[in-house]
Amino acid sequence: MTELSQLIVYGLATGCIYSLIALGFVLIYKATEMVNFAQGDLLMLGAFVAVTFILTLGLSYWLAFILAVIVMAAFSYGLDAVVLRRVIGQPQFSVVMLTIGLGFIFRAGATMIWGTEPYNFPAPFSSGVSVVGGVVISHVAISIVVGTVVLCSILWAFFRFSKLGVAMQAASQNQLAAYYMGVPVKRIFSLIWAISGGVAAVAGILIAPLTLVDNTMSMLGLKAFAAAVLGGFGSIPGALVGGILIGMIEQVSGAYFIDGSKDIAAYATLLLVLLLRPQGLFGAVGRKKV
Amino acid sequence: MAIFQARDVAIKFGRISAVDGVTFDIEPGTVFTIIGPNGAGKTTLFNLISRLYDTSAGTLTFEGRDITNLPAHSIAGLGIARTFQNLELFDHATVLQNLLLGRHAHTRSNLVAELLFLGSVRREELAHREKVEEVIDFLNLHKYRDSMIVNLPYGVRKVVELARALCSEPKLLLLDEPSSGLNTEETGEMAFWIHDIRDRYGITVLMVEHDMGLVNRVSDKVLALNYGRVITIGTAAQVQSHPEVITAYLGG
Amino acid sequence: MRFPYKTDYGQDLDLFKSSSDRFWYGLLALVLLSMPLWVDTFWLGEVSYVFILGIVGIGLMILTGYAGQVSIGHAAFLGIGAYTHAILLSMGTPFVVSLVGATALSTLIGAGVGFPALRVAGIYLAMATFAFNFLVEFVFVRWESMTGGFSGFAVASPEFLGVSFTSGGGFYYICLLSIVLAILLTLNLLRSPTGRALIALRDSETAAQALGVRLARYKTTAFAISAGLTGFAGALFAHRIGYLAPDIFTIMFSIQLLLMVVVGGMGSIHGAIFGAIFVGALPQLIAIMRDYLPDSVARQPGIEPGIFGLLLVLTILFEPRGIYGRWLKIKHYFSVFPMHKKAAFSRQKSYTKSER
């Protein structure tokens, strides 16, 4: 029983990371219909930037955290403004290939700048653990869950109450109508990329103490697709729930199923969902209008 | 005996009835036109007939055969062809390839023979080509034969779509707003072709159209649709003077 | 600029459209056939590798470039072909039989993967295929009794009458024959009703259905043929690398294969071949480049994937028709010289065509 609780706690923690990455996909997808295959690479960059602030510049964890998120948000804004804006209206395939290409470039860039040796990510609570009812919970795991909840609350309040957030929702639902209502659609899209890049950075920094920082972090992005699809691609609550489910499925299958199945549990789930219920838990597969 | 019958046809999207209890008959060799304001359910009705949508209730009968539950890809083989309001051409293929695809329902394909391109495949391709050239002659598409669709102006694409539908040798031809996006001259030509399709080839035409001039010129019978329901069926003049049709168009 | 004067509908069906085509392809055939006489073993091996990549490129082009179904999992089919062939050989199966077996198995599995494609399209299919790639990789690692697990196993190299056909000139001719056959079969397919139906699938599923094209049948066909060609190439690839290990057939390799068709030029067999030449030659180009660049840049470990990524991005942004598209433009430029006008190939403005 204790073992299972332990697994669930870790599943929840890694699941939160998948949720955040999936959230990044969904925000961009809802707004621009682009599917960003480089989301995991943005996460990786965010973690690298933060670790540099801490280790090289000697900044505190919290300051590095905030600065890295700002840097990644600005980077993603620029990415949209300079590169991605050009392919709006081209077939989805082009966009997919473009973001895959960007992912390659980011990883190569990261290798050139930071080398191939993984970095230890020092967080003030790295070594702390608490024991709750016999279950050992590391403080890193707690920080991931708390961080995810806080971030989601902030984003929810932003989209619900701020003028900009509402404008973003409008632009996501109907580009043309939003444009006529005076919403600067292009800039809004760039801002959504910025938010998505910021979310990726948060996810990267939250998980970094658990994994070490190197360019294999970008593979998390692929697993997060399973989360987004399980939840229903295009649904924000779906992304969050899907992420946590995938995290748990992974941990549990790793412990109780054949050796090594932890690594592919997410992909097996992805295939099953696509076969049995392509619209996921919360989504609806729209029909093309003719 | 009517070539096509719709009986109490309905479809719901969620709680909204897009088409509700629609009943009509089309006599062979006539042009039957559906008019109605935007959102009246005209295109939805077309999508029901070509089986892209599933009906919630009612039956569709073509030549005495119930087609309500047939899969979409078997409709062409029965002899129903259609065009699309916003054009659904194969954009990165040539006009010729598009038209040959119009022949698909009449094509028997055998993968092994095709991989080896046996004589039988070549002969069949040439036979289809003859048919396609007939349609090219009829609609004057000679000079566009080898052009990619993406490189063609809108007016020509519209004609190519009509041609593609004709290549399948339909008995019933569904035209979704044949004149939209065309200039007056092109619309005139379209009216001429629709007449010819009916008279020369004996094809029955079911058409959705907004341009009243064109409707008056070619229609044998007109059906007015609003909020998914039939207001009235009759000749073009009768329908246009119907008080409910007038209110539907003017609003109120 | 010359236009062939057509007098017969059959001319549109012919593979060679003009006598100059015949001449140039004849010359190419001579060069390729005589290559073992004037090229050393290393370069012969490289050219053979380009042929293998070319077969994969054609397979992927049928699926992605013609039928419009994206696959980010083709390295899995390559792996299935390679492992099946190597395992069959190790059991003493004759070379040709084993080759056929590898092709048949990957064709079958391809048709199986095509099955989810009936329910999901576009981006979902891309995800399904990369998930498939991970699962296959997992099988290669875990099915140790067959595949040798992580440590992998060496591929047998059978001989026939004392001539090795898995290295040097013998292997070169097998690869050459294979790619020529692959091209011919594919061209035949593309000028037949099935080829057209695949294009219909790509450009408008709605219209395709309305014209009587069975989506399920043609999607499965496209996947099966594509996987079959790729598996066949995989069997040849096994000899090229000589030693199979699961970490060869990763999703990164799949992406490289996809890059090959995109950079080469989508929707044409020329594109697949150009892409294969390019991807085959790139490591050599990078190696040559390294001699001229300062060490700080040239010795970077990430440079190769970085260059791949950069090329992919540049192609999509500036030359969506790839190398073949650029080639056509250059050819056009010279054939109308000096009457070239800038707008000859300008694309029409496109608007967002929503898929929601």
Neighboring chain B residues of A290 at a CB cutoff of 8 Å: 43, 47, 52, 84-86, 88
Q: Which of B6, B8, B18, B20 is nearest to B66 (CA)?
A: B6
Between B93, B116, B125, which is nearest C199 by CB?
B93
Per-residue pLDDT tens for C271-322? Answer: 999 999 998 888 888 778 777 776 666 566 667 778 888 888 998 888 877 8
Neighbours of chain A (3+ CB pairs under 8 A): B, C
Neighboring chain C residues of B131 at a CB cutoff of 8 Å: none
Region B186-205 average pLDDT:
92
**Cβ–Cβ gap C207/B89 under 8 Å:** yes
A221 burial type by CB count under 10 A (0-12 exposed, 13-18 middle, 19+ buried)? buried
Report if residue A17 sits inside a domain: yes
DSSP category for residue C61: I
Average pLDDT, chain C: 85
Question: What pLDDT is attached to residue C354?
Answer: 42
Q: Which residue of C64, C181, C185, C211 to mutate against B (max B Cβ within 10 Å)?
A: C211
Least confident of B216-220, C87-91, C316-320: C316-320
Question: What pLDDT is attached to residue C297?
Answer: 62
Report if residue A253 sits inside a domain: no
Compare C55 and A213 and report the one with higher pLDDT.
C55
- pLDDT surpassing 60 at residue A110: yes
Question: What pLDDT is attached to residue A139?
Answer: 85
C350 and chain A: CB distance < 8 Å anywhere?
yes
Per-residue pLDDT tens for A225-247? Answer: 999 889 888 788 888 999 999 99
Q: Which residue ranges form the domains of chain B, and what is each CATH number?
A: 1-79+170-203+213-252 (3.40.50.300), 90-169 (no CATH)
Residue of A nearest to C315 (CA): A98
Per-residue pLDDT tens for A3-33? Answer: 788 888 888 989 999 999 999 988 888 888 7
Report if residue A263 sits inside a domain: no
Specify the number of domains making up chain A.
1
Residue of C nearest to A176 (CA): C352
Question: What pLDDT is attached to residue C356?
Answer: 38
The C-alpha torsion from C33 through C37 and C39 to C44, rounded to 10°, is 50
CA distance B128 to chain C (A): 10
The secondary structure of C225-255 as a DSSP string is: HHHHHHHHHHHHHHHHH-EE-GGGS-HHHHH
In which domain, by residue range, is A142 found? Answer: 2-217
Say which amino acid occupies A289: K
Say which amino acid occupies C9: Y
The secondary structure of chain B as a DSSP string is: --SEEEEEEEEEETTEEEEEEEEEEE-TT-EEEEE-STTSSHHHHHHHHTTSS--SEEEEEETTEE-TT--GGGHHHHTEEE--TT----TTSBHHHHHHHHTGGG----HHHHHHT-HHHHHHHHHHHHHHHHHHHHHT-GGGTT-BGGGS-HHHHHHHHHHHHHHT--SEEEEESTTTT--HHHHHHHHHHHHHHHHTT--EEEEE---HHHHHHH-SEEEEEETTEEEEEE-HHHHHH-HHHHHHHH--
Report if residue A259 sits inside a domain: no
Most confident option among A93-107, B161-175, C143-157: B161-175
Q: Which of B84, B82, B104, B102 is nearest to B204 (CA)?
A: B82
- pLDDT surpassing 60 at residue A114: yes
Per-residue pLDDT tens for B51-104? Answer: 999 999 999 999 999 999 999 999 999 999 999 988 999 998 999 999 999 999
**Cβ–Cβ gap B90/C200 under 8 Å:** yes
C residues 230-289 lying closer than 8 A (beta carbon) to A: 251, 255, 258-259, 262
Whether residue A148 contacts residue A20, with contact meaning beta carbons closer than 8 Å, is answered with yes
Per-residue pLDDT tens for C17-44? Answer: 777 888 888 899 999 988 888 888 888 9
ipTM of the complex: 0.90
Per-residue pLDDT tens for C73-82? Answer: 999 999 999 9
CA distance A112 to chain C (A): 6
Say which amino acid occupies C269: I
CA distance B131 to chain C (A): 12
